[in-house]
Chains A and B, each alone.
Chain A
Amino acid sequence: MFTNFPLFPQQASAQAGQVDAIYFFMVAVTAFFSILIGGLVIFFAMRYRRRHRNEVGYAIHGSLALELLWTVIPFFIVMIMFGWGAKVFFDIYRPPTGAMEIYVVGKQWMWKVQHMDGQREINELHVPVGRPVKLIMGSEDVLHSYFIPAFRVKADVIPGRYNVLWFTASKPGVYHLFCAEYCGTKHSGMIGSVVAMEPADFQAWLAGGRADDSPVAAGEKLFQDLTCNTCHRSDTQGRGPMLAGVFGKQVELQNGSVVTADEAYIRESIVNPQAKIVAGFQPLMPTFQGLVSEEQLLQLISYVKSLSQQGAAPGSAPASPTMPQASGRPAVEKK
């Protein structure tokens, strides 16, 4: 009936070892103090058991030295845990530059994935081994959470904003993917698998996608279909700001403050254009909330991103030898 009795999950990412190390340390501390306390309680209870009915204990009122001892020692131990835990968190939280980007959209009850090369998948995620992968995740409806136990990573997927999850798979294989944040009736069916592949196999898999289906190409088409291009022109004469070279830059707003043009800012500018008006422009843009889906938003964002990457020096765009220049493609396709 039970084929195996696992006590410990597979380690299949570069981060997994770090998380397990702190886990083992804390298991050891827990075992030590549980056995210490349990042992003392049982030992005292036997050693000082009541021998006759009217016996009473000694009146001992306390000891400042002992109180300090068992305040200070635990404090130092938990501070080690705090520092260690924070360090591991920072490492897992901050994606390295140049990570391969993949868009993920959660919706009741499935995971939709768009690769930059045009491959799309549902409830699966194919990734290469040995290369940092950064998931940019949004939700179509309620909260979800993207959880890959074998990689020891998890991040909530929150409607209305983007959350990022990154990892470097270290071992080829097929691993569980779970939605970890309760999201309604079929929450436990919002599962799938992460397929970690050797880079060559991954390339072969990736080649199965259609290039014109890439988020950048789809975003460019959408940009024209929604007539964004009538105001956001490629010259400075448009009624809206020129978008080439904007992504990742500081943008000065009408109220004098400055904002970095990241994914969240572009998303907000599309669904809630009045929130932050760029200096020198009128608040003319209508909202596109409800007109574009989360997936389409991600496509528009990747198109806007691509506009910055063509302007940059060739080769500086996040790319790696194992993957053809996804970001370079629109430049070729344009006209």
Chain B
Amino acid sequence: MTTLNYINNGHGLASWLLTKDHKRIALLYLVSITAFFFLGGLFALMIRLELLTPAGDLMTAETYNKMFTMHGVVMVFFFLIPSIPAVLGNFLIPIMIGAKDLAFPRINLLSWYIYALGGLFTLFSALSGGVDTGWTFYTPYSTAAANSHVITAALGVFITGFSSILTGLNFIVTIHRMRAPGMTWFRLPLFVWSHYATSLIMILGTPVIAITVLLVAAERVLHMGIFDPALGGDPVLFQHMFWFYSHPAVYIMILPAMGVISEIVQAFARKNIFGYSFVAFSSLAIAIVGFFVWGHHIFVAGQSVYAGMIFSFLSFVVAIPSAIKVFNWTATIYRGSVSLDSPMLYAFGFIGLFTIGGLTGLFLAAMGLDIHVHDTYFIVAHFHYIMVGGAIMGYLGGMHYWWPKISGKLYSEGWAKLAAGMVFIGFNLTFFPQFLVGYLGMPRRYHMYPPEFQIFNVMSTAGATVLAAGYLLPMVYFTHSLFRGKPAPADPWGAKGLEWEIPSPPPTENFAISPIVTHGTHQYAPSKEVGVV
């Protein structure tokens, strides 16, 4: 006799595809983003295999260019941006604030359908021959010269943007209006704060990329002169518009991961966060300042030196709130009760890799140094430290932390630790050599390269295979746990938070009666011991 929960409450395809339950929608997203993750990973593997040797011998230049373009488009727009918000955020935000669902359950389902439609466009563009513009769609190549399926790919990005906008809108309204009695702003879990900041970027930034790719399509089809100088347009205008969204989009990817890390560090140190309000407000600071740094992508594109200086200054400023978070996480572990379960291993991995990724970002904000490293593998290494070492580590950490809640099953901790180790080692072996070869001058998006760069590329390719195995393992033991895993108790980690007070997996309505909140999350020690160092 099993109790009714959101998974067994309703059977059949229709009960999933027409669900309005935020938890089921989260699983719809989980399945689709996982598919896109492995598709994007397959493209990455092809890239790494080609780069094993300096000659372009595995595939043609045209195919290679399509590989890195599709890798970027799929990973950025169809995996990284939706990953944590649409899966973990969708599942957890209502539960964490003591609500029964998001504010607009139907819009939530609509978001997934829009995402799926955008994904189909992109898949169509991949299967019908691919795109070769780079995920950045730089003009006038994308509008005048590229001879590939730019329009369908651009429309895929355009469409999926609305899914992002609606999700952000849903989260903001939910966080404002649906909090349980006593769940004040400063009792909110930091995961919720980081999603609030993320949602602001989604709502304010995404329309700009939508307009931008639409203009690309318009110039390509109707020959409207917007970006192509031959038609009277300005190619650098595109770069401003593109990065006005796409730089903040990096924060769409990393802020939710930071929220996950804040939760994990507290749960596995059994200690409330050090400097709650600093961590919470640093998310907002990143979201706001992050809108004014886009020009650091254009230092060598003939931008005014003075504009460049302002963008450089603000890019340095935006590093400070990230640094504050890292210091606060570290201080949180001090005098904690630390257990090194797999989510905590991912969190440690995140802290280390994000620190390196963040600090190497400063190299690119320093104008004089950016001249040399711009568009080289140094940048490739830097942003993979943020997006893979940061965002994906956070995503995997979160998946391991909340998997027992989501699935109601326990996975094999030994395998999980092994996978975490492989991901960490494989990641560093893949991307650290790219800093070196980038400073040596190897440009990105190169199908062939001079032989002296080979050793670094061999290391990268070797690392990528370890990384790929590290990513496949969780697929195996998570799937295995669904069928053979032990049932998870409500709170397998001894963590604190509303999500751990309800059964695993949660019932459809989350809470039988609305909870009344009397304190913040992660209060482990009795309050009389509260002190200041």
Show the binding face of A for B, using Cβ within 8 Å: 1-9, 18-19, 22-23, 26, 29-30, 33-34, 37-38, 40-42, 44-45, 48-51, 53-63, 66-67, 70-71, 74-75, 78-79, 81-82, 84-93, 108, 141-143, 145, 147, 149-150, 152-156, 158-161, 163, 176, 178-189, 272, 289
Q: How does the 8 Å CB contact mask read for B341-380 relative to A, with 1 for contact and 0 for none? A: 0000000100110011001101101111111101110000
Tell me if B440 and A19 are in contact (CB < 8 A).
no
Contacts of A18 in B (CB 8 A): 368
Contacts known (A86-B309, A188-B449); A81 close to B533, Cβ less than 8 A: no
Category for how many chain B residues contact A? 35 or more
| Subset of 23 A-B contacts with CB under 8 Å | A4-B452, A29-B362, A44-B336, A45-B333, A48-B337, A49-B338, A57-B269, A59-B525, A60-B274, A60-B530, A61-B530, A61-B532, A63-B275, A71-B324, A81-B366, A85-B369, A89-B305, A90-B368, A92-B371, A142-B145, A158-B301, A180-B444, A182-B134
| Contacting residues, chain B, for A87 (C-beta < 8 A) | 368
Closest to A2 in B: B455
Cβ-defined contact, A44 with B305, below 8 A: no
Q: Are B440 and A37 in contact (CB under 8 A)?
A: no
Q: Which of B229, B271, B276, B375 contacts A160 (CB 8 A)?
A: B229
**In the bound complex, do residue B301 and residue A44 qualify as a contact, i.e. CB atoms below 8 Å apart?**
no
Partner of B455, one of A5, A86, A92, A149: A5
Task: Check B375–A89 contact: CB distance below 8 A.
Answer: no
In the bound assembly, the distance between CA atoms of A26 and B271 in angstroms comes to: 34
Stretch in B121-129, B249-257, B311-319 touching the partner: B311-319
**Partner of B335 from A7, A37, A57 at Cβ < 8 Å:** A57
In the complex, besides A34-B356, A81-B362, 20 extra interface pairs with C-beta distance below 8 angstroms are A3-B451, A7-B440, A8-B439, A8-B440, A30-B359, A45-B338, A48-B333, A48-B334, A51-B337, A55-B270, A81-B365, A85-B368, A149-B376, A152-B371, A154-B300, A155-B302, A160-B230, A186-B61, A187-B446, A188-B446
CA distance A179 to B414 in the complex (A): 48
Which residues of chain A come closer than 8 Å to B355, judged between CB atoms? 33-34, 37-38
The residues in B between 76 and 123 inclusive whose CB is less than 8 angstroms from any CB of A are none
Interface of B toward A, CB cutoff 8 Å: 56, 61-62, 65, 132, 134, 136, 138, 140-141, 144-146, 228-230, 232, 234-236, 269-272, 274-278, 299-302, 305, 308-309, 312-313, 316-317, 319-320, 323-324, 326-328, 330-331, 333-340, 348, 351-352, 355-356, 359-360, 362-363, 365-372, 374-376, 436, 439-441, 443-452, 454-455, 494, 523-527, 529-533
Closest 9 pairs between A and B when the two form their complex, measured CB to CB: A88-B368, A149-B441, A160-B229, A85-B366, A57-B271, A89-B367, A57-B336, A56-B524, A62-B275
Chain B positions within 8 Å of A48 at CB level: 269, 333-338
Taking the nearest CB of chain B, how far is it from the CB of A113, in angstroms?
19
Q: Which residues of A contact B269 (CB under 8 A)?
A: 48, 57
Cβ 8 A contact of B340, one of A49, A57, A86, A154: A49
Q: Chain A residues with Cβ under 8 A from B339's Cβ?
A: 49-50
Identity of the chain A residue whose Cβ is nearest the Cβ of B61 in the assembled complex? A185
Minimum Cβ distance to chain B for residue A263 (Å) = 12
B441 and A59 contacting across the interface, CB-CB below 8 Å:
no
Contact of B365 among A42, A82, A180 (CB under 8 A): A82
Question: Would you call B141 and A184 a contact (CB within 8 A)?
Answer: yes
Contact A78:B316 (CB < 8 A) given known A57-B270, A59-B525, A183-B141: yes
Interface hub of B140, B144, B305, B337 (most chain A Cβ within 10 A) = B337
Say whether A188 contacts B363, CB under 8 Å: no
Cα–Cα, bound, A97→B6 (Å): 73
Chain A's nearest CB lies how many Å from the CB of B453?
9
B324 touches A57 (CB 8 A): no
Task: Report whether A44 and B323 are in contact in the complex, using a CB–CB cutoff of 8 Å.
Answer: no
Instruction: Report the separation of the CA atoms of residues A280 and B312 in the bound assembly, to the nearest whole angstrom.
Output: 43
Q: Is the CB of B235 within 8 A of A182?
A: no
Query: Quick one: which of A1, A51, A57, A181 has the most chain B CB within 10 A?
Result: A57
Interchain CA distance A179-B451 in the complex, whole Å: 17
Most B CB contacts (10 A, CB to CB) among A56, A75, A141, A186 go to A56
Q: A19-B371, A45-B348 are in contact. Are A163 and B270 (CB under 8 A)?
A: no
Residues of B within 8 A of A185 (CB): 61-62, 65, 132
- What chain A residues lie within 8 Å of B530 (beta carbons)? 59-61
* Residues A158 and B141 in contact in the complex (CB < 8 Å), given A85-B366, A87-B368: no
Q: How far is the CB of A273 from chain B (nearest CB, A)?
A: 13
- Measured between beta carbons, the chain B residues less than 8 angstroms from A186 are 61
Bound-state CA distance A75–B113 (Å) is 44
Q: Is the CB of A60 within 8 A of B531?
A: yes
Q: B270 to chain A: which residues have CB within 8 Å? A: 50, 55-57
- Chain A residue nearest to B367 in the complex (CB): A89
**Distance of B219 from chain A, by nearest CB (Å):** 13
B367:A85 contact, CB within 8 angstroms: yes
In the complex, what's the smallest C-beta–C-beta distance from A293 to chain B, in angstroms?
13
**Nearest Cβ distance between residue A114 and chain B, in whole angstroms?**
21
* Chain A residue contacts of B529, Cβ below 8 A: 58-59
Shortest Cβ distance from A159 into B: residue: B229
Partner of A62 from B141, B372, B526, B532 at Cβ < 8 Å:
B532
Cβ contacts under 8 Å, A78 to chain B: 316-317, 319-320, 362
Q: A108 to B140, alpha carbons, bound, how many Å? A: 13
The docked-state distance in angstroms from the alpha carbon of A55 to that of B336 is: 9
Q: Is A143 touching B365 in the complex (CB atoms < 8 A)?
A: no
In the complex, residue of chain A having the shortest beta-carbon distance to the beta carbon of B318: A78
Is A30 touching B368 in the complex (CB atoms < 8 A)?
no
What B residues does A60 contact at CB under 8 A? 271-272, 274, 331, 334-335, 530-533
Q: A44-B336, A49-B340, A56-B271 are in contact. Are A74 and B323 (CB under 8 A)?
A: yes
CB contacts (< 8 Å) of B362 on chain A: these are 26, 29-30, 78, 81
Nearest chain A residue, comparing its CB with the CB of B138: A143
The reply to whether B276 and A62 contact each other, CB–CB distance below 8 Å, is yes
Query: CB distance A108 to B316 under 8 Å?
Result: no
Q: How far is the CA of A300 from the CA of B319 in the complex (A)?
A: 47
- A45 and B529 alpha carbons, distance in the complex (Å): 21
Instruction: With CB as the reference atom, state the residue of chain A lying closest to B344.
Output: A45
- The reply to whether A86 and B368 form a contact with Cβ atoms under 8 Å apart is yes
A44 to B436, CA, bound (A): 31
With A82-B312, A88-B367, A160-B234 in contact, is A33–B65 under 8 Å at CB? no
Smallest CB gap from A70: residue in B: B327
Q: Which residue of B lies closest to A58 (CB)?
A: B335
Which residues on A sit within 8 Å (CB–CB) of B436? 7
Separation of A56 and B339 alpha carbons in the complex (Å) = 11
B315 closest partner in A (C-beta): A82
CA distance A159 to B228 in the complex (A): 8
| Inter-chain contact B320/A143, CB cutoff 8 Å | no
